[in-house]
Structure formats: C-alpha cells, structure tokens
Amino acid sequence: MLFAIVLLAPATIASSLRETIAAQPGLDYFYNLEYDQAYAVFSDQAAQNPSSPDVYNHIAQTVLYKEMYRAGMLSSEFVGGTQFIRQPKLKLTEAVDKQFHDAINRAMSLCQERLAANPDDTAALYSIGVSYELRANYSFVVRKAWRDALRDAAEARKAHVRATELDPNFIDAKLTQGVYDYVVGSLPLRWKMLAFVGGFHGNKERGILTLKEVGDHGRMNRVDAMVLLAALYLRGKQPEEAVPALTALTENFPRNPLLRVELDKAVAATNNVVAQR
C-alpha cells in the first residue's frame, strides 16, 4: 500500500517544481540549503537589477533561513508546534543582522514607492507582503516579540488579500494568508485570546485548505506550500499525506538532507499505520 501512495504522486508535481526553479534563479541553491551560493546569486541579481524588491526579499530570506538552519529550526518538529514557541531567541551577529535589515528595508522602500504611484500594483502588494512576512519571522525567532510578529503578519496578509482581490488568479499570494490563518489558529489558548483581543483572527483548518490550494495550483510558492504541508501532516499524524509531496521535493532537491530525513520519517510512520490495520 505504501508503494501505491508514493507512485500516486502526480508527475506534474515534479515538472511544476522544475518550472519554479527555472523561473527564479538561485532557488535551486536555496532549497538545497546551500545558502552561501544562493546569497551570491541573489546579490548578483540585485547588482544587475537594483529596482527589484523581490531580489532583496530573496536576500533577506536567505540570510534568515541560513541562521535558522544552523539553529536546527527548519525540521518538522518546529512547524506549527509549541517547540517553536519555546525555542530561545535566535542570536545573530551584528553583520548578519545588518544584512537582513539592509535587504528587507530596501525591498519595502521600493514597494512603497511603487504603491505610492499605484496603490493597486499587484506585484508591489505581493512583494511588500513578503517583506512583512519575513520581518514577522525575524521578530518572532530573533526578538521573540510575538506581538510585533503578529502585527507584521497581519500586514502581510492584508497586502496579499488585496492582491488576490485585484487578481483572483494570483494563487501564490494566498500562501501568506494560509500561513497566517494556521499560525494564529494554532496558538495556545492564552495567546489565542490575547491575539483575538488585539484584532488578530485565524482559522487552522482554513489555513490548511489555503496551503493545499497553493501547493496544487501555485507557481512561485508551490515549493514552500508543499514543504509546509508535509511538515504539518507529519505533526498531525497524517504521514501518508506527506509522502507524495516529500517524494517529489526530495527528487527535485536531492542535496537537501532535511527533506530526506522527513521523507524517511513519513515512510516509517506510514508503514507503522499500515502494519496496525
């Protein structure tokens, strides 16, 4: 039965992932956890196209995720669980901290200029939403300032909701909406009540459905949605749901050791479920 599950992973997943990588040079390095190489590619792109906020977002994300990887914060145990909340502050050197903020501030400044000229610029709305989301991640893992993190996450969601209102086919802009819904909906009761009082609302089930939509139909963010869903399925004791995505991801990013670990974990857990039936 397990082999059937693996083989049912549609071939279109692999081809779509390859299209995603081809459309965004540097992501092959990023998703293989080769952050120094990714940083070099994105920095070169920034030098060639300094008016692109997306490139600066890529730089900021690479800088932050490299440090999160070093701290062991990218495994499925940390996604959607209390372990991530209890994790100590991520310590950054002044140089790394400056790299992150220089990139994120540049991205936001470029977006704000474009939005001042045209408030309905969907590409700028998407990009500034990504910037807010990255700054929210920074506030949470580095500063442990969860209210600031939620506030920026809400701004990211607001920008991406507006982008999808203007362009309903902008599926990639729904990733942040799904993550926001899941995270806020998964907060411990005490924190969830404080979040509700502060005007932050979420829905765990709706978040999962939105991530599935991006994983099925997205382009730029399909990889991220698949990674998140696989981690959430593992945490939710649904390993058989994680196997197809992790199989496709491992095939496309074979130098990523975390994906192989997560796939082996999902396969073993699925085998246990099958054996108990």
Cα(79)–Cα(202) distance, integer angstroms: 16
Residue 232 has pLDDT above 80, yes or no: yes
Mean pLDDT of the chain: 84
Residue 273 has pLDDT above 80, yes or no: no
* pLDDT bucket at 4, cuts 50 / 70 / 90: very low
Q: Which amino acid type is present at position 77? A: E
Residue 170 has pLDDT above 50, yes or no: yes
The sign of the torsion formed by the CA atoms of 139, 143, 148, 150 equals positive
- The conformation of residue 139, written as its DSSP 8-state character, comes to I
Range of the domain at 162: 2-276
Return left, alpha or beta for 25; rule: phi > 0 is left, psi -120 to 50 is alpha, else beta. Answer: beta
CATH number for the domain that contains residue 256: 1.25.40.10
For the stretch 74-109, pLDDT in tens is 877 666 554 555 667 899 999 999 999 999 999 999
Q: Are 174 and 133 in contact (CB under 8 A)?
A: no
- The conformation of residue 143, written as its DSSP 8-state character, comes to I
Residue 219: its H or E element = none
For the stretch 157-169, pLDDT in tens is 999 999 999 999 9
- Burial status of residue 223 (CB atoms within 10 A of its CB: 0-12, 13-18, 19 or more): buried
Q: What is the pTM of this model?
A: 0.85
Q: Which amino acid type is present at position 215? A: G
* Residue 188 tokens, joined: 């411990």
- The helix/strand/coil state of 28 is helix
For the stretch 256-270, pLDDT in tens is 999 999 999 999 999
109 vs 231 pLDDT, higher one: 109
- The conformation of residue 169, written as its DSSP 8-state character, comes to T
Q: Could you tell me the CA-to-CA distances from 106 to 49, 113, 133 in Å, in that order?
A: 13, 11, 15
Question: Domain count of the chain?
Answer: 1
Q: Name residues whose C-beta falls within 8 Å of residue 185's C-beta, 6 or more positions apart in sequence.
A: 192, 202, 203, 204, 205, 206, 207
